[in-house]
Amino acid sequence: MVNITLPAGKTLLVSGPASLTLIEGEVAVLGAPVEKEDKLLIREEKQIPIEAVTDAALSTSLGTNASLTEVEGSTIPNSWRSLAEAALEAAFPKIIAIGDVDSGKSTLCTYLANMLLNKYTRVSVIDADVGQSDIGPPTSIGLGVTDGYILSLADIDPASMFFVGHTSPAPVQDKVILGIRKLMELSSINNSPIIINTDGWVADREACQFKASMINEISPDLVAVIQSEREIDPIMDAASSPVIRVQSPAAIRKRTRDERRRLRELSYRRYLADAVTRQISFDKVELRGAQVRNGRLLAATQMLRSIVGFLDEKNLLSGIGILKGVEQKAKVLRIYTPMRRPVEVIEFGSVKLTDDGKEIQNTP
């Protein structure tokens, strides 16, 4: 453990894995006040800004590849504060965040959740970034509810999840929108504001049409568009809901493709913890994304190692697994999963995984 001081008006950018404890003074993280002796845990590949309200002292413990960077002033753009004020003026607002990859959408959603908790007892968050979801495993859309301040969306446990089966929304655009709408319906019983995080696919015409359709179908009260140039103008022009343009934080962490893949793999491992190989009769469950003909599972060899989702009676995701084998004569699927409950519906996704959560690249 190493003690450091942080002068008032400065911000400490902490890249994990790391833990920090406030010893003296006042600090805040994305609008969330930190209590004395509170331990802040920053996960691997994540970054949080600790803003000194007064001169402060913190104890730190850094893991491998963790880092601390001190910057002048706040990393929260003034446009975010204006957006939060607009959100607080609305009654139980629905807000959707749109932006490019690594533009700060998840950070913005975290900040908005913390600010709304100053008015509401709880806030619902839907994470529809199917490739980099913080609420639920990759390939899914997660709904979580928080009644306390958070450091990141990853601090929110999923209350309900919707299985998409892909890490890109491009081939499943209607399904992504359906999942958001379904989770919005569920979140309405919480009587709380709703914040919706989205994926970073905005760079081409099809992406802009997808985002415009998403906005128009879910009808949010506010659309927060993080835009550095004019790349998202087509989405803004097509949106039927009020749009507020905000800036990307100056100190945003840009991730490489490999870093984003490693983040997904960490998440897969978390949701596959304590997995065992189960044998499930495929003639006694409903299969989606696969076909059975004459008692045989078609294309079984090609489907090995595919991620699968276990769905409940409401077609919501209960857990994930990996297809490890198919015994055609016995009509049995061997699936590596932590799920222990009876299974009624199994849906096959497009991603293939090793037992330790590493993605297997498809070869031509």
Amino acid code (one letter) for 81: R
Residue 279 scores a pLDDT above 60: yes
CATH no. for residue 278?
Answer: 2.40.30.330
Q: Calculate mean pLDDT across residues 321-341.
A: 96
Q: How many residues does the chain have?
A: 364
Max Cα-Cα span within the chain: 73
Residue 264 lies in a domain: no
CATH code at position 177: 3.40.50.300
Rounded-to-integer distance, Cα 79 and Cα 237, Å: 20
Same structural domain, 86 and 161 = yes
pLDDT number for residue 363: 42
User: Stretch 101-117: mean pLDDT, rounded?
Assistant: 96
Confidence band, pLDDT 50/70/90 cuts, at residue 45:
confident
Start-to-end Cα distance in the chain: 50
Q: What is the pLDDT of residues 164-215, one digit of tens each?
A: 999 999 999 999 999 999 999 999 888 899 999 999 999 888 999 999 999 9
Domains in the chain, number: 3
Mean pLDDT of 111-118: 98
Q: Model confidence at 364, in pLDDT bands (50, 70, 90)?
A: very low
Task: For residue 17, give both structure tokens.
Answer: 């894995």
Rounded CA separation 134/238 (Å)? 28
Residue 76: pLDDT band (50, 70, 90) is very high
pLDDT tens digits along 283-295: 999 999 999 999 9
Segment 15-25 shows an average pLDDT of 95
Examine the fold and report which residue of 12, 47, 72 is the final residue of a domain before the chain moves on. Answer: 72
Phi and psi dihedrals of 133, rounded to 5? -65, 135
Q: Evaluate whether residue 344 is within a structural domain.
A: yes
Cα 361 → chain centroid: 22
pLDDT above 60: residue 322: yes
User: Is residue 26 domain-shared with residue 85, that is, in the same domain?
Assistant: no
Task: Tell me if 363 is assigned to some domain.
Answer: no
Whether residues 48 and 188 share a domain: the answer is no
Domain membership of residue 301 (yes or no) is yes
* 260 falls within a domain: no
Compute and round to an integer the Cα radius of gyration of the chain: 21
Rounded mean pLDDT of 27-40?
94
Burial of 353 (0-12, 13-18, 19+ CB in 10 A): buried
Task: Specify whether 169 is located in the same domain as 101.
Answer: yes
**For 44, which DSSP code?**
B
Specify the pTM: 0.95
Helix H or strand E encompassing 15: strand 10-15
Average pLDDT of the segment spanning 333-352? 96
**pLDDT tops 50 at residue 113:** yes
Task: Report the alpha-carbon distance of residue 143 to residue 125 in Å, rounded.
Answer: 6
Q: Which residues contact 352 (CB under 8 A, 6 or more apart)?
A: 304, 305, 306, 307, 359, 360, 362
Together in a domain, 210 and 297: no
Let me know if residue 35 belongs to a domain: yes
Higher pLDDT, 276 or 2: 276
Flag whether 254 is in a domain. Answer: no
* End-of-domain residue from the set 42, 72, 102: 72
Residue 228 has pLDDT above 90, yes or no: no
Do 199 and 233 lie in a common domain?
yes
- In this prediction, residue 155 has a pLDDT band, given cuts at 50, 70 and 90, of very high
**Which DSSP state fits 35?**
-
SS (H, E, C) 307-360: EEEEECCCCCEEEEEEEEEEECCCCEEEEEECCCCCCCEEEEEEEEECCCCCEC
Residues 134 and 218 in one domain: yes
| Residue of higher predicted confidence among 117 and 43 | 117
Q: How far is the C-alpha of 162 from the C-alpha of 183, rounded, in Å?
A: 8
Q: What is the pLDDT of residues 121-153, one digit of tens each?
A: 999 999 999 999 999 999 999 999 999 999 999
pLDDT of residue 229: 67
Half-sphere exposure (Cβ direction) of 316: Cα atoms closer than 13 Å: 16
The answer to whether residues 326 and 201 belong to one domain is no
Does 160 lie in the same domain as 21? Answer: no
Share of the chain above pLDDT 70, in %: 98
CATH number at residue 9: 2.60.120.1030
**Cα–Cα distance between 71 and 304 in angstroms, integer?**
49
Instruction: Tell me, yes or no, whether 323 and 276 share the same domain.
Output: yes
> For residue 345, which amino acid is it?
V
- Domain final residue, candidates 28, 56, 72: 72
Mean pLDDT, the chain, as a whole number?
93
**Cα angle: 278, vertex 280, 285; to 5 degrees:** 145
- 266 within domain boundaries: no
Query: Whole domain around residue 223: which residue ranges?
Result: 78-246
Omega prior to 17 cis, within 30 of 0: yes
Same domain, 83 and 200: yes
Residue 237 has pLDDT above 90, yes or no: no
Question: Are residues 94 and 66 both part of a single domain?
Answer: no
Evaluated on CA atoms 222, 157, 148, 65, the torsion sign reads negative
Dihedral sign from CA coordinates of 282, 292, 162, 198? positive
Taking residues 332-359, what's their average pLDDT?
A: 96
Q: What is the DSSP string of 279-298?
A: EEETTSSEEES--EETTEET
pLDDT number for residue 231: 67
